[in-house]
Chains A and B, each alone.
Chain A
Amino acid sequence: MRRTLTIKTRLVFTVAFVAAMLAGSTGIALWRLGAVEADAEQLAQSHARTAANVARSYEQAFATVRTRISADAAAKGDSAGADAALPALLAKVERQAIDEATQYQRAMDAGGAAVRSDITRGEIGIAAVLAVSLLAVVAVLHLFVYGPIVTEAASLVRVCDAVAIGDHTSRVPNPSDTELGHVARSLNLMLDNTVTLVQSRAERDQMQAAVMKLLDEVSGVAEGDLTVQAEVTADVTGAVADSFNFMIGQLRQIIGQVQSASRQVSTALGDLRDVTQKLAGGAEDQAAQAVEASVAIEEMAASIHYVSENASSSAAVAEQSRTNAEHGTRAVTRTIEGMKAVRDQVQETAKRIKRLGESSQEIAEIVELIGDIGDRTSILALNASIQAAMAGESGRGFAIVADEVERLADRATEATKRAGVLVKATQTEAAEVMAAMEDTTREVINRSNIANEAGVALSEIQTVSNRLAELIQAISDAAQQQARGSEQVAKSMTEMSSVTRNTASSTKQTAAAINSLALLVDNLNATVSRFKLPAANADAAEFGHPRLVAAS
């Protein structure tokens, strides 16, 4: 229902709704004003009643007071003078109170009348404002809504109707800056574009011819000819041709790489085949060498066993050597002791000979003394003879004695000379013997030192022999260890031999696989070679630097 309402209808409805709302509001305001008026009336009446009641109350109160005062005055009697002034005062107060109540009552009446007249003026003002507002609303709607919007919408409708009947030249005149104006501009732009989009028949024919030419040019690609090159023109197919050329270039590159890779795989397969054959041959050689190695290891084990036996013999020899060295050491010790004894004896002998030399020196002195005595005796004998001669005949006997004495002295001198010679010879010999003894002592000391060195050397030999025995024992142990190790190695060699055989058979299988792979690669080559490539492009592909070749 809402979709069928036009803008005009909606505006009328809106105005009516606003007028109703305003009238309602005004009615409610008037009703409330009436209520206020009634309340004000009641309030004024109630105040008037109150004022009348107050006035009566005042009168009753004053009457009561006067009665009391009269009663009191009668009761007392003697205070008549004072009482004469009191009723006058009371009457004065009474009058003032009644006047005030009356004035209050009048004021209340005047206020109620003023309120009533004010409310009446308000009602009239409200009605006037209502009428003016309605008029203003209608005027504003007509001026700012109905006029521009409905007019512009009507022009839009006109243009659309014109386009609907094929008039593409119709446009909305002077579109405003309102929302409908934007719609109108968009409509105008749309109509302009639509006019541009409409093509002529000649253009369509030209495009079709260009497309057919392009198809002719590129039809060889389907048969694998990648040498074709689409002509890049300025028309719409130019971009397609350029893209096609780029695609063909990429394809050339890919195919070239595939061919190159295929050739490389072929070559690599050939190498692989050679390598596999070598590997197979190597595995057989290795198996043979493993057998040889097993034999060699057995020989080695035998020789190690031989070494072990020899080591045992060597240990015995080393032990014998050590024992001999011990014997030698003991012998050297005894020799040294003997040498020491010899040296002591030689020194003792030397001492004795020295004493002998000293004794012979004394003997020499004694002999010299005897010689001297002989000499003197001889002189004495000569002098005695002379004196005897001087005595003449009586001294003749004494002369004979003197002669005998002289002869004796000569003999003594002779004997002392010989003795002196002998003593000198003895002394010389003693000195020589002393020298010889010293030489002997030195020699003995030298020999002792040599013997000491020999003893040291023998003890070193002993130590070395011990060490040698230990080493030989170690060698023997190591040889046994080696023997065990060589058995293990022989076992390992056997296992290695079987592994090598497995390797050989696996290598043969590998060779077969390589052969089938070679067949596959040949197929691939045949497939890829159906693509024709320009020579330069093939080279470029070989080098792995593909580039687009411009059409010549």
Chain B
Amino acid sequence: MSDVVTLPTLVDAVAAADACLEGAIAAADAAPRASATVGERYVLLTLAATCYAVLEACVTEIDRMPRITPVPHVPEWVRGVTSVRGDILSVVDLRSFLGLDAATTRGTRMIVARLVSEEFATGLLVDGVERIVEISAGAIGAPESPLEGPLAPFLNGICTIGDRTVAVLDLDRLLRSPDIRQFEERQDDPAEGEGSGTTSCEER
């Protein structure tokens, strides 16, 4: 076996990590100088072997798979409700929403998406959350072929990060879609400003 890694190697790795952390802190100290960013920050997540990017502004928290209380008389893709810091959230399994089998793994994450303006939050189960990246608006382009599938209406386009193609998912639009909203307890304001989710997020 070529990569014979033992505990000392791990120790070395931890030491290297410490060094990195120190480097990061140092970089953070120097951060205000290089604050001129050009793009929006997106959260990269994976779902059914496809990489999606959602706007960081729509995400308030990322958590592990919580304990879910099943709820009767709901579609299959609504797993139930859960409690996050005192708030009761409904949990939507995006895999089921896409028509795939519900498969919970160790990497499964719940993204707490919230529309601040409407005080509406829901939990979205995804296969995994990779990291947070900055994507400039110019990098997002229309797809060469029309996108298909249940999520197609909520996609803003695609971009390329590294050697991967990432679909940009508009969470704001998704959360405002009738399918999601029909289970919203507080439907005090009707859907408005479709396609301006980005703007509403930025209003916070």
Which of chain B's residues have a CB closer than 8 A to the CB of A422?
A: 1, 3-6
A405 in contact (CB, < 8 A): yes
Give Cα A60–Cα B160 distance, bound, in whole angstroms.
243
When the two chains form their complex, are residues A382 and B131 in contact, meaning their CB atoms are under 8 A apart?
Answer: yes
When the two chains form their complex, are residues B21 and A410 in contact, meaning their CB atoms are under 8 A apart?
Answer: no
A389 in contact (CB, < 8 A): yes
When the two chains form their complex, are residues B35 and A415 in contact, meaning their CB atoms are under 8 A apart?
Answer: no
B162 in contact (CB, < 8 A): no
Contact flags (1/0) for B6-31 with A, using CB distance below 8 Å? 11011001101100110111011101
Q: How many contacting A-B pairs (Cβ < 8 A)?
A: 93
Pick the most buried of B5, B17, B20, B204: most chain A CB atoms within 10 A of its CB. B17
Which of chain A's residues have a CB closer than 8 A to the CB of B59?
A: 386
When the two chains form their complex, are residues A405 and B24 in contact, meaning their CB atoms are under 8 A apart?
Answer: yes
Which one of B21, B28, B62 lies within 8 Å of A408 (CB-CB)?
A: B21
When the two chains form their complex, are residues A383 and B62 in contact, meaning their CB atoms are under 8 A apart?
Answer: yes
When the two chains form their complex, are residues B131 and A410 in contact, meaning their CB atoms are under 8 A apart?
Answer: yes
When the two chains form their complex, are residues A379 and B64 in contact, meaning their CB atoms are under 8 A apart?
Answer: yes
B59-78 CB contacts (< 8 Å) to partner A:
59-64
Say yes or no: A396-B32 contact (C-beta < 8 A), given A411-B17, A418-B5.
yes
B43 in contact (CB, < 8 A): yes
When the two chains form their complex, are residues A411 and B109 in contact, meaning their CB atoms are under 8 A apart?
Answer: no
Rounded to whole Å, the gap between the CB of B176 and the closest CB of chain A is: 21
B56 in contact (CB, < 8 A): yes
* Chain A, residue nearest B133 (CB): A403
Rounded to whole Å, the gap between the CB of A171 and the closest CB of chain B is: 181
Which of chain A's residues have a CB closer than 8 A to the CB of B16?
A: 411
* Chain B, residue nearest A372 (CB): B106
B126 in contact (CB, < 8 A): no
Rounded to whole Å, the gap between the CB of B115 and the closest CB of chain A is: 15
A43 in contact (CB, < 8 A): no
When the two chains form their complex, are residues A397 and B62 in contact, meaning their CB atoms are under 8 A apart?
Answer: no
B180 in contact (CB, < 8 A): no
Give Cα A383–Cα B24 distance, bound, in whole angstroms.
17
Give Cα A404–Cα B131 distance, bound, in whole angstroms.
11
* Chain B, residue nearest A407 (CB): B20
B129 in contact (CB, < 8 A): yes
Give Cα A399–Cα B50 distance, bound, in whole angstroms.
26
When the two chains form their complex, are residues B57 and A404 in contact, meaning their CB atoms are under 8 A apart?
Answer: no
Give Cα A406–Cα B41 distance, bound, in whole angstroms.
15
When the two chains form their complex, are residues B10 and A419 in contact, meaning their CB atoms are under 8 A apart?
Answer: yes
Given contacts A382-B132, A396-B31, A400-B24, 8 further A-B contacts (CB under 8 A): A370-B10, A379-B129, A389-B57, A403-B132, A404-B20, A410-B131, A411-B20, A415-B5
* Among all A-B residue pairs, the 8 with the closest Cβ atoms: A404-B24, A400-B28, A401-B28, A397-B28, A397-B31, A415-B13, A408-B17, A400-B31
By a beta-carbon cutoff of 8 Å, the part of chain B in contact with chain A is: 1, 3-7, 9-10, 13-14, 16-17, 20-21, 23-25, 27-29, 31-32, 35, 41, 43, 56-57, 59-64, 106, 109, 129, 131-132, 204
- Pull 24 A–B residue pairs with CB atoms less than 8 Å apart, ordered by A: A383-B61, A383-B62, A385-B132, A386-B62, A389-B56, A393-B35, A396-B31, A396-B32, A396-B35, A397-B29, A397-B32, A400-B28, A401-B24, A403-B132, A405-B21, A405-B24, A406-B132, A408-B17, A415-B10, A416-B10, A418-B3, A418-B5, A422-B3, A422-B6
